């Protein structure tokens, strides 16, 4: 998006807009991107690329994930924005089907080229004899961002229900969500059933999403209330980690019990801790974001935020392959002194490649106005189910196994979006 467009959008921003919502959306994704690039400890051993997790190599930094696991902030701003959007649609008499189709189109259109690109990469790589473990690791890494979309699409789909619960029961709806999440954890952990634990992708993240409703409606106003929310979150989270079965690290590291796979109730309390602190800065941030430079920067990031999020791991992998080809930069001992010193260079190079990909694919975030009539309810409903299922499978296992490339999983969401007419073909040729 050019500077003139950014300046025009900045000048057109209404005084009633809460700019902090946009800022925290951009900041959260920025932290996720840097965190992913930091956690990738890539090296070459015996002529083969090895990818380790920095958290596995340096357990002493596990506590940093209480800051780096910022998906609660994204669900917070999602709740704020979706409450505003659904209420507006409801006031205009729009149906859920129309609203959900628009949300799916905005969220999923930028995903389609990523799925097609990685299907092509894996098919070509497999046909040329690239080891399946290399393709599997690469595709899993590239598809990591899709786990969030699988959950977020589901949470967005039930906004009319969760918002109605909030409007009727207020804080008790969040308490009920926390209780349900705790019960799911109890059953899941005591029985060893990860499948049962998957229910918490809904209970945990929908509850954090409802905190966005609370923010939108003023139920989180006031310094004392925000401090109280943060303190409750911190105390309960610390108690669960200290006395319960939950690990200190808030992202996946392959431990028998994790906080993020499946989602655990700890992430809800982590969200309360982070959200209370974040909102304490709202007034100062609101004043700072009145400055033209700060607000234009925020608009710039948000204008390409989905492309940044979706392609940043692919950018890193492209950089790894390039470094491997020229035998440069992958010889340092992961998490060693020189490795840490060179991280700023690593971040800068990853950013350059990411910006190149944004230049290519970012225009898909410029959707044209959708003037189509309201769809039948079953179309966006079925599309939501198919998208969530397909993205969840790919986020968990990539698209490659020892038996070959499972082309069906990336094709299914693409086909659902096109055949169910959620994303019209003309949307793939967006406006500049």
* Average pLDDT across the chain, whole number: 90
Q: 204 with 181: CB under 8 angstroms?
A: yes
**pLDDT, mean of residues 164-192:** 95
For residue range 209-245, list pLDDT tens digits in order: 999 999 999 999 999 999 999 999 999 999 999 999 9
Q: What is the pLDDT of residues 264-277, one digit of tens each?
A: 999 999 999 999 99
User: Which of 150, 151, 175 lies closest to 165 in space, CA to CA?
Assistant: 175
pLDDT in tens, 113-124: 999 999 999 999
CA dihedral angle for residue 46, residue 119, residue 114, residue 401, rounded to 10 degrees: -50
Residue 419 has pLDDT above 70, yes or no: yes
Determine contact, residues 10/292, Cβ cutoff 8 Å. Answer: yes
CB contact at 8 A, 209 and 155: yes
pLDDT attached to residue 115 = 92
Do residues 258 and 198 lie in contact, with contact meaning Cβ atoms separated by under 8 Å? Answer: no
Phi, psi of 430 (to 5 degrees): -75, 170
Summarize pLDDT for 253-308 with one digit per residue, the tens. 778 899 988 899 999 999 999 999 999 999 999 999 999 999 999 999 999 999 99
Residue 409 has pLDDT above 90, yes or no: no
3-state SS class at 392:
helix
- Note the pLDDT tens digit of each residue in 360-392: 999 888 777 777 888 889 999 999 999 998 888
pTM of the entire predicted model? 0.91
Please compute, for residue 228, the number of CA atoms within 13 A of its CA located in the half-sphere on the CB side: 7
**What does the pLDDT read at residue 236?**
97
Question: Of 134-138, 342-346, 355-359, which gets the smallest average pLDDT?
Answer: 134-138
329 Ramachandran zone, left/alpha/beta (phi>0; psi -120 to 50): left
Structure-token match 């975030």, residue found: 365
End-to-end CA distance of the chain: 8
pLDDT tops 70 at residue 425: no
Predicted local distance difference test score (pLDDT) of residue 430:
52
Would you say the C-alpha torsion 124, 146, 431, 429 has a positive or negative sign? Answer: positive
Q: What is the mean pLDDT of residues 66-95?
A: 94
* pLDDT, tens only, 27-53: 999 999 999 999 988 888 777 788 888
Q: b or e along 132-160 (b: 16 or more beta carbons within 10 Å of the residue's beta carbon)?
A: beebbbbbbbbbbbbbbbbbbbbbbbbbe
Count of H helices and E strands in the chain? 22, 4
By C-alpha distance, which of 380, 353, 244, 365 is closest to 304? 365
- State residue 51 phi and psi, 5-degree precision: -120, 115
**320 vs 174: CA distance, rounded Å:** 43
């Amino acid at each position: 998006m050019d500077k003139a467009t950014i300046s025009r959008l900045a000048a057109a921003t209404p005084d009633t807009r809460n700019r902090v919502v946009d800022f925290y959306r951009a900041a959260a994704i920025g932290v996720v991107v840097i965190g992913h690039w930091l956690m990738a400890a890539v090296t070459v051993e015996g002529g083969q690329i090895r990818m380790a997790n920095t958290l596995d190599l340096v357990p002493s930094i596990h506590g940093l994930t209480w800051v780096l696991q910022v998906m609660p902030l994204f669900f917070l701003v999602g709740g704020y924005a979706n409450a505003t959007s659904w209420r507006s649609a409801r006031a205009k008499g729009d149906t859920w089907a129309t609203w959900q189709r628009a949300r799916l189109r905005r969220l999923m259109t930028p995903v389609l080229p990523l799925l097609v690109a990685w299907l092509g990469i894996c098919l070509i790589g497999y046909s040329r004899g690239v080891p399946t473990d290399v393709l599997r690791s690469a595709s899993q890494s590239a598809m990591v961002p899709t786990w969030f979309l699988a959950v977020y699409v589901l949470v967005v789909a039930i906004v009319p229900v969760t918002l109605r619960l909030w409007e009727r029961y207020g804080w008790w709806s969040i308490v009920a969500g926390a209780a349900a999440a705790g019960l799911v954890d109890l059953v899941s952990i005591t029985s060893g059933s990860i499948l049962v634990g998957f229910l918490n992708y809904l209970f945990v993240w929908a509850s954090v999403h409802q905190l966005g409703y609370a923010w939108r409606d003023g139920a989180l106003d006031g310094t004392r209330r925000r401090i109280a929310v943060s303190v409750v979150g911190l105390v309960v989270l610390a108690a669960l980690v200290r006395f319960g079965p939950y690990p200190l690290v808030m992202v996946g590291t392959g431990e028998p019990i994790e906080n993020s796979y499946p989602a655990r109730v700890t992430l809800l309390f982590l969200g309360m801790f982070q959200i209370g602190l974040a909102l304490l800065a709202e007034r100062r941030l609101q004043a700072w974001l009145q400055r033209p430079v700060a607000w234009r920067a925020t608009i710039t990031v948000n204008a390409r935020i989905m492309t940044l999020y979706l392609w940043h791991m692919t950018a890193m992998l492209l950089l790894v392959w390039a470094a491997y080809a020229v035998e440069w930069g992958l010889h340092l001992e992961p998490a060693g002194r020189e490795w840490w010193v060179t991280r700023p260079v690593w971040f800068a190079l990853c950013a350059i490649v990411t910006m190149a990909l944004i230049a290519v694919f970012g225009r898909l975030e410029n959707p044209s106005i959708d003037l189509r009539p309201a769809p039948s309810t079953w179309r966006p409903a079925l599309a939501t189910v198919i998208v969530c299922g397909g993205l969840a499978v790919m986020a968990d296992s990539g698209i490659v196994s020892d038996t070959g490339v499972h082309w069906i999983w990336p094709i299914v969401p693409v086909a659902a979006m096109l055949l169910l007419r959620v994303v019209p073909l003309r949307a793939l040729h967006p406006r500049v």
